[in-house]
Structure 1
Amino acid sequence: MGAGDTSPDAVLQGDQVLLRAERAGTGNGRVYQVTFTADDHISGSCTGTVTVCVPHDRRDPFCVDDGQLYNSLQP
């Protein structure tokens, strides 16, 4: 996804989730929590959550989860 102050920050594309890699220059990185449900179309399903970190820069490859929760699929 491109640069700039635009939204949405996440896009569903088939069976993939595209996440914005940019972050605020003065921030401490960006953390996404992707929650999903897998269904076998018979009678079984399961849910899971994956945490994705976009670090501030390559020198400090860690992110701080500040706890804010937003729906990144919304504009």
Structure 2
Amino acid sequence: MRRSEFLRAVNLEFGPRASTVTNDLVLDALGGRTAADALEAGLSPRDIWLALCAEMDVPADRRYGVGRLEPRRR
């Protein structure tokens, strides 16, 4: 997962709360960091996404492949 995919996934899942969730929610799984702090520290966006999903009880079927763009059609 790339950083852009992470940000897209957060926006799709949390909508207007996305900024609050990434900037204010402290995640124990990330060493007491917020998602934004973890990104800045260089942690994997995929690991951050999964920690965020676990904390926010996002169903498993919405955790994988989220944030990816649909392939372009020719």
Q: What range describes the TM-score normalised by the shorter chain of this pair?
A: under 0.3
| Greater helix share, structure number | 2
